[in-house]
Amino acid sequence: MKQDMIVILDLGSHENTVLARAIRALGVYSEIYPHDITVEELKKLSNVKGIIINGGPCNIVDGVAIDVNPSIYEAGIPVMAAGHDKATCAVKLPQFTDDIEAIKAAVKPFVFETCKAEANWNMTNFVNDQIELVRRQVGDRKVLLALSGGVDSSVVAALLLKAIGNNLVCVHVNHGLMRKGESEDVVEMFGNQLKANLIYVDVTDRFLTKLEGVEDPEQKRKIIGGEFIRVFEEEARKLDGIDFLGQGTIYPDIVESGTKTAKMVKSHHNVGGLPEDLQFELVEPLRQLFKDEVRACGLELGLPYEMVYRQPFPGPGLGVRCLGAITRDRLEAVRESDAILREEFQLAGLDKKVWQYFTVVPDFKSVGVRDNARSFEWPVIIRAVNTIDAMTATIEQVEWPVLMKITDRILKEVKHVNRVCYDMSPKPNATIEWE
**Residues of the shown chain interacting with ligand ATP in the complex, contacts defined by CB under 6 A:** 146-148, 150-153, 171-173, 175, 248, 269, 271, 315
Minimal distance, residue 372 CB to ligand ATP, in Å:
43
Residue 109 or 312: which CB sits closer to ligand ATP?
312
Q: Does 153 carry a binding-site annotation?
A: yes
Cα 429 to Cα 431: distance, rounded to the nearest angstrom: 7
Residue 37 or 170: which CB sits closer to ligand ATP?
170
Residue 109 or 181: which CB sits closer to ligand ATP?
181
| Amino acid at residue number 266 | K
Q: Does 149 carry a binding-site annotation?
A: yes
Cα 421 to Cα 281: distance, rounded to the nearest angstrom: 48
Q: Does 139 carry a binding-site annotation?
A: no
How far is CA 269 from each of CA 73, 247, 253, 315, rounded to the nearest angstrom?
35, 8, 6, 12
Minimal distance, residue 280 CB to ligand ATP, in Å:
13
Residue 431 contacts by C-beta under 8 Å, 6 or more apart in sequence?
Answer: none
Q: What is the number of alpha carbons within 13 Å of residue 248 lying toward its C-beta?
A: 22
Cα 147 to Cα 187: distance, rounded to the nearest angstrom: 10
Minimal distance, residue 277 CB to ligand ATP, in Å:
20
Q: Does 375 carry a binding-site annotation?
A: no
Query: Is 209:247 a contact under the CB 8 Å cutoff?
Result: no
Minimal distance, residue 393 CB to ligand ATP, in Å:
18
Q: Does 152 carry a binding-site annotation?
A: yes
Residue nearest to ligand ATP (CB): 150
Residue 172 or 330: which CB sits closer to ligand ATP?
172
Strand 79-82 to 91-93 pairing: parallel
Minimal distance, residue 34 CB to ligand ATP, in Å:
25
Q: Kindly state the DSSP code that residue 141 receives in the 8-state scheme.
A: -
Residue 109 or 302: which CB sits closer to ligand ATP?
302
Residue 7 or 146: which CB sits closer to ligand ATP?
146
DSSP letters of 341-385?
Answer: HHHHHHHTT-TTT-SEEEEEB-S--EEEEETTEEEEEEEEEEEEE
Minimal distance, residue 269 CB to ligand ATP, in Å:
6
How far is CA 305 from each of CA 163, 311, 388, 405, rounded to the nearest angstrom?
22, 11, 20, 26
Minimal distance, residue 209 CB to ligand ATP, in Å:
17
Q: Does 151 carry a binding-site annotation?
A: yes
Residue 48 or 186: which CB sits closer to ligand ATP?
186
Of 272, 271, 325, 312, which Cα lies nearest the Cα of 435?
Answer: 325
Residue 67 or 243: which CB sits closer to ligand ATP?
243
Three-state secondary-structure class, residue 37? coil
DSSP letters of 65-133?
Answer: E----GGGGGSSS-EEEES-TT--SSEEEPPP-S-HHHHHHHHHHIIIIIS-------HHHHHHHHHHH
Cα 303 to Cα 418: distance, rounded to the nearest angstrom: 39
Minimal distance, residue 361 CB to ligand ATP, in Å:
21
Q: Does 148 carry a binding-site annotation?
A: yes
Q: Kindly state the DSSP code that residue 288 receives in the 8-state scheme.
A: T
Annotated binding site for ATP: 148-154
Annotated binding site: 148-154
